[in-house]
């Protein structure tokens, strides 16, 4: 009986430590993006192509402290929810977007088509790298106002 009680205690303690570590990892990962704003530098396609915005300030994303995210995609604006499920993982909820027709040369269509598939992020040399799309593309962003 004593052995079973000790085992139960140890299993419970391990489970509590594991859950606490997972929550800490998720909250510290989220803390890295919370309250930050970024502007697009380039989109690197899986085929090696690169798309660069004419005006970076028209392609921005802000990660709120409250789990909300807002974005400007050229002539449109959108919002959603965001969360991190662990180290470098990123998940967006459903996006609500305006639907204006952007001018020729806009990166709008490409971002709207692929941006929802972003699944991971990395902050490297002060830049935010978003990836995880099936095609293997990469979005590079810099802090807003740089």
- CATH no. for residue 90? 2.40.128.270
Q: Per the structure block, which two tokens stand in for 48?
A: 């090696």
pLDDT of residue 115: 82
Give the torsion through C-alpha atoms of 132, 135, 136, 142, to 10 deg: -70
pLDDT of residue 114: 84
pLDDT of residue 136: 76
pLDDT of residue 30: 57
pLDDT of residue 61: 98
pLDDT of residue 137: 86
> Mean pLDDT in runs of 10 for the chain (146 residues)?
44 38 41 92 92 97 97 97 89 94 94 88 96 84 89
| Distance in angstroms (rounded) separating the CA atoms of residues 29 and 86 | 7
pLDDT of residue 87: 82
Classify 78 as helix, strand or coil: strand
Structural domain count of the chain: 1
Classify 71 as helix, strand or coil: strand
Q: Per the structure block, which two tokens stand in for 42?
A: 């380039």
Domain that holds residue 80: 2-143
């Amino acid at each position: 009986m004593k052995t079973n009680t000790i085992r139960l205690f140890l299993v419970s303690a391990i489970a509590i430590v594991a859950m606490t570590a997972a929550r800490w990892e998720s909250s510290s990962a989220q803390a890295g993006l919370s309250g930050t704003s970024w502007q697009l530098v380039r989109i690197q396609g899986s085929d090696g192509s690169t798309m660069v915005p004419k005006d970076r300030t028209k392609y921005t994303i802000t990660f709120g402290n409250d789990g909300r995210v807002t974005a400007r995609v050229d002539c449109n604006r959108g919002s959603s929810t965001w969360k991190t499920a662990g180290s470098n993982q990123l998940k967006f909820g459903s996006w609500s977007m305006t639907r204006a027709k952007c001018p020729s040369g806009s990166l709008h269509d490409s971002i709207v088509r692929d941006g929802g598939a972003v699944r991971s992020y990395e902050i490297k040399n002060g830049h935010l790298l978003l990836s995880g799309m099936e095609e293997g593309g990469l979005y590079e962003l810099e802090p807003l106002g740089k």
